Every structure is written in C-alpha cells, then in structure tokens.
Amino acid sequence: MLRNVIVGGAFMAGMAVAVPFVLERNGQPQAGGSSSETAPALLSAAPSQPSAGGRRVQMEPDVRGHFIGEFRLNGRPVEAMIDTGASVVAINRTTARRVGISLANADFSQKVNTANGTVHAAAARIDRMEIGGIVARNVQAVVLDDSALSGTLIGMSFLGNLKRYQVENGRLLLEQ
C-alpha cells in the first residue's frame, strides 16, 4: 500500500511539472504541495552519458540543468530524469510493460493529484535498477497512465540506495 508518496515532478504532456503530486488514500491527501506552479517545457536534449568509475557515476546537466541519463530497469534501457523531490521512482504504463511489470486495471487504485487533475496510480517494484556500476534491487515505484506521465523520474526509492549524491562542479555525482 502506498502511503505518503510524493512524485516531485513529472513529464506531463511534454512538459515538466514542478509541483509535487499528492497521493491520496480514500480521497484524503497523504502529502502535499502547491498545484499552482509549473515549470516551462523542457528543451529536447539527449540524455547525458554517465562517466562511471566502478560504483561512481557522474552525470552532465542538460540545457535546462536537469540530470537525465540512461538507466536500466530490469535489464531494459530507459531514459530517466533524477528528481530528488520524488519519494519513489515514477514510470508510465508503457515503460512498466517494457520492463516486465504486469499490472491490471484494478491495480490503479491510488489517486494522485497533478496540476492537470487527479489520475490513478499503481504501486510496483522494480527488481533491478542500474546506471553505470550502480545497482539497486527491489526498488519501490509508482506507475501512472501514459497520458499523465510521459517520462521516467528517478526518486528517493532509488537514490536512497546510494552512499551519496551531490552536485560537484556542475555535475551530479552518484556514489554507491
């Protein structure tokens, strides 16, 4: 059961939303944030290719300052953005299917408020996530419909597996 989950931002209809998403149980908010702020659309940019040394990865920011890289979810490549404001990894249904997560419509029983309205979400687990030499297993995630989330967000359920993560000299350093 998901509780107190915030997805700090999301790619929605081609734009990044800077407001937290609120997970609700039985119609009651569990965590919150303003729904009146939105960030401008992301400029298209190729994901950074992390430079990895063992269990250290450095990522370059894109033109907007976001850290986007190619992760592997259950062995499948997935472009994703680091989001330290997100409690969990957030993926859409298409990505979930591609990485081997099977969900029924009944699994989408959690309500998530977004700047564009309320959507349903399903709790999931990703068996294995990796970037460079960094590997995390059994990572908590939330799955949203494709119309509510067009990209993948890497939240604290992955980042919490790291020894540290910080920005150094304009690059994001991930270390496990």
Whether 120 and 167 have beta carbons less than 8 Å apart is answered as no
User: What pLDDT score does 93 carry?
Assistant: 96
DSSP H helical segments within 27-122, as ranges?
Answer: 93-98
pLDDT at 77: 98
Reported CATH class of domain 10-28+48-175: mainly beta
What pLDDT does residue 42 have? 30
- Residue 45's pLDDT is 39
On the CB side of 163, CA atoms within 13 Å amount to 7
* Residue 27, pLDDT score: 39
Q: Sign of the C-alpha dihedral, residues 121, 96, 116, 23?
A: positive
Q: Is the dihedral angle over the CA atoms 19, 2, 83, 151 positive or is it negative?
A: negative
Q: According to the model, what pLDDT value does residue 100 have?
A: 98
For the chain, give every domain's residue range: 10-28+48-175
For residue 2, the 8-state DSSP code is: -
Write down the H helix ranges in the chain: 93-98, 156-159
Phi and psi at residue 38, to the nearest 5° = -140, 150
Tens digit of each residue's pLDDT, the chain (176 residues): 555 555 655 443 333 333 333 333 333 333 333 233 323 223 333 444 555 555 899 999 999 999 999 999 999 999 999 999 888 999 999 999 999 999 999 999 998 765 566 889 999 999 999 999 999 999 999 999 998 999 999 999 999 999 999 998 999 999 99
Instruction: Give me the pLDDT at residue 112, please.
Output: 76
Closest to 112 in 3D by CA, of 138, 82, 92, 137: 92
- Token pair, residue 143, equals 């799955």
Quote the tokens at residue 62: 């894109």
Q: Which residues of 69-105 are buried (b: 16+ CB within 10 A; e: fewer)?
A: bebebeeeebebbbbebbbbbbbbbebbeebebeeee
Q: Tokens 């569990």 correspond to what residue?
A: 30
Question: According to the model, what pLDDT value does residue 38 have?
Answer: 29
